Structure 1
Amino acid sequence: MKKFNLLLIFIVLLSFGSCRSDSETPAEVTIDNTVKTGKLSGKVISQNGSKPIGGASVFTFDEKYKIYYTTSDADGNFTLEAPVGDRTIHIQTGDGSNFRTEISTSVKHNETANLNANQTKLNQVAKIAYVKGSYDKIEDIIQNLGYTATEITNADLANITTIAQYDIIFLNCGSRNYSLNQSLYPAIDANLATFVANGGSIYASDWDVSYLVGGTDNTNNCMLPGGFVPDSKLCSTNTGSSGIVPATVSNAGLSTALGFNTLNIDFDLGSWQKIVNYDPAYWEVLVKETSSNNALMIRTNHFTTSGTPNTPIGNAPNTTFTTVCITLPGNIQISISVPTAAVPYLVALGATVGPCSGSTNSGYIYYTSFHNHATGNIGNAGVILQYVILNL
């Protein structure tokens, strides 16, 4: 009987051990049952090592899937408290679906380990495309960060098979007039709707609001034919005048990531698209005019439409990561991407599948009324646009 009892105890202990995550070791505890922790410090930088990245999520889990989380400051620096043992450290921007890095490291009790720059580079996992414009070159900013983007054309936008290869599409100001055959516009509009509804993300600047709400080169009136964003959600008219516009960063997360909340934006052309009307329940304002509170930069992930086909976009068919929403202490919600195998355990702890806000399937749409390459000198607006690239 004693041998049987010893065997039973051994089996029970073995079963407890089998429930641990393969990538994490059990957190040690002190005499008073508090978890032993150490710290990891580092600097999040772009893939080529040239730019610090603020506002990045840095986190890990213990074997019970409790999250340990922090963010990088405006200079990219972070310090993460984590349970002792072998850990996988995640570095992400946005919700982690397009830019993320995983680091395997060991955490020691009451010690601070410094992660080196080769470990903390933010990797591109998204496939990025851009359409050439008359005034902007967002591709230069992408490349200056060490990331890659493929040039496509308006004819490519009219082919859903082509654009479905990508996760992000950048539309440079003036690119819509590169389509000499305006009969392509209906197909382009329909394809962009399918792209975003299935999780692809878009950035458009200035005149290229016409891709969103209709028009050709630009928009002079509300409710023009074409586009794919409902007319009730956005109206922009080509009525802005040249000059310096004092602006305020109205999004707290963006302000923290940038390290500033005011800037001067140089509108260097004689006319630019002013946002004259938008649905505040649909769009989030990131940057606005200081004097008038008029929106200058907006984003949404609330796009929904009926009748669009379910189309796999970019890396989505092959990814082993899933976006979830986790609530931190203080009722702070974060959207992150985690290994799909971890999702059931996180859901059991209260996480939900999908982003914390917006439509579960929708990608992001970012729109700026200002340029991303104004005469090659855009000042602090360039840092804002780096944030846009990394958070799509």
Structure 2
Amino acid sequence: MSRDVNVPYCYYPKDFPNYAIKTSEPTAFGQRITIVKTQATYMPNEILNLTVDLIFETTQRIRIRIYDPTNKRYAVPIPVPAVETKANVTDYIVSLNQSPFAIVIIRKSTGTIFAMKTIRKKRSFLLSRSTFAGSGQFTAHWTGDNQATYENMYFSIPAILSFNMFGITHVGAVICGFSLNATEELCTRWMQLGSFYPFMINHNSIDAKDQDPAVFSWTAQQIMKQALLMRYSLIPFWYTLHHQAAMASKTIVQPLVSEYPNDENTFNIDQQFLVGRALLVSPNLKTLAKTVHAYIPQDIWYEFPSGVKLTSVGLFMDLDAPLEKINVHVRGGSIIPMQAPGPNLMIGRGNPFTLLVAQSASNNGTGNLFWDDGDSIGMIVSAFFLLYGVNK
């Protein structure tokens, strides 16, 4: 294969070739399309020909199968309903774009573009490492393959803050790092920090040592457990923030400068962040450190979950940060919905709610709660949800 001079092997040609339709034929179940790569790239072992089967299963359901017709490749063995004939009358229109190849499926009854959500009648969860402007409407995002280093743990904070400003709010970094071997101290600190990512994920390379909590000492397990319980206790707060992000384009996490734009001390802070407007997170990002140098903005702050009020604000200070502690503070004037944590989110949804009230200087507070069943589609349209505004 010829390639341009001085172009790395892994790079695409300048025109970024896509697949285009070669043939399209009706089948007993719907339609079969052959698509071909318009131009070979520099990637090794690429698939130049693919087959796309459109299977019209029922009036409301279409199945799309994309596969390599020449070489058998591994596929996730997901059971699908068996059909003997295609549906002759459907509530969807399938249109194809010739080049680049694309499938657009539109529901006749509403005119809206839809995905494969109607099979389970439940919400889908999409996770992507590769995203672009507007992707936040459809998918969560993780920041890619990082390394098990303190530097990478630190860089995760600017990453999640940046993606929130991009409108991709459900975002997180790989906790404990993807490559290299995480130490117990690093993984403990990262689990604490990751408990305050909008999206929390821990997985790593097959070549690296296991890094789930169970492989570490009992002491480390208990510290990680407490961090997770802290996160689970705040699920109603997180859920409300996600609702506000979806409906009002708000950020879920944000830099301090967003809330304190007139405070020059906040301009360069990238090792602390706010969850919503209510929680200030100041993680320990250095090995063997027993304190964290943090900025406390000019406001009223209470330590979470102890409730101890900070007496010094508007300055940088060294906060105690032993291994078992991540510094989190509640902003005065906030009312945070909380819930007794369960062993998992499905079981925990039925647990009692509480309100954490952090009084402001004028002894008042405000907060919100959005709550629905957590899984059904169209809850906003059907108005089957709770939305509370709380003032004290």
Q: Same fold (TM over 0.5)?
A: no
- Output the TM-score relative to the length of structure 2: 0.27
- Output the TM-score relative to the length of structure 1: 0.27
Q: Which has the higher contact order (CA 8 A, sep 6+)?
A: 1
> Which has the larger share of helix?
1
